[in-house]
Amino acid sequence: MLTVSFQKGGKKCPACTKSVYANEEVLSAGKSWHKACFRCSACGSTLDSTTVSDHDGKLFCRRCYGKNYGIGGYGFGQGAGVLSTDGAVKVARQGSPAESSEPKFGGAPKCPRCGKSVYMAEKMLGAGQTWHKGCFSCINCRKHLDSTTVADKDGQIYCRACYGREFGPKGVGFGVGGGTLQT
């Protein structure tokens, strides 16, 4: 007769304190969690690696984390009055997320069009920045672009036709007026 002994212990889920096995393990905040326990401690919504934030060992979705621990005051969803930061807040650069393509949460660069993280599978390069494939389109006509059809100016990307209309030569012989050169 074969006897199998299971050793109790190993990794424990911080939410339910039961053992976590490899097939159900999610790593976050330096701990192992069950997939079913990997939820926001405030609203209970299911989390993934792009939506999780932790505070004092508890997991939060971005919305609940911002509501509970983010900056508050007028313009930050908490009514009129003086900006309350509950302590010092460092602001390295002002502006919208679309103005910055520096790495943020998770180390992935941000798309200048939508401000969300760009991962390797959806990465397009243009105008010295990293874009999502879906966001890699002409700023004027929204035509989808690729590396052979992109033209850039001042951090924005254009299709060749819109770039020519906006920044190309103008005047007689260049498509304007009665004496246009036609081929």
What residues in the chain have per-residue pLDDT under 50? 1-7, 75-104
pLDDT reported for residue 137: 93
Q: Say whether both 156 and 119 belong to one domain.
A: yes
Same domain for 48 and 102, yes or no, is no
Give the pLDDT of residue 106. 58
Give the pLDDT confidence score for residue 83 in this predicted structure: 46
Name residues whose C-beta falls within 8 Å of residue 136's C-beta, 6 or more positions apart in sequence.
124, 126, 144, 145, 146, 150, 157
Q: What is the pLDDT of residue 111?
A: 92
SS3 165: helix
Report the DSSP beta bridge partners of residue 156.
153
CATH for 56: 2.10.110.10
Does any domain span residue 32?
Answer: yes
The pLDDT score that the predictor gives to residue 61 is: 86
Per the structure, the complete domain to which residue 29 belongs is given by 22-69
Give the pLDDT score at 71: 65
Question: Domain check: are 105 and 65 in the same one?
Answer: no
> Pick from 45, 41, 65: which is nearest to 53 by CA?
65
pTM above 0.85, yes or no: no
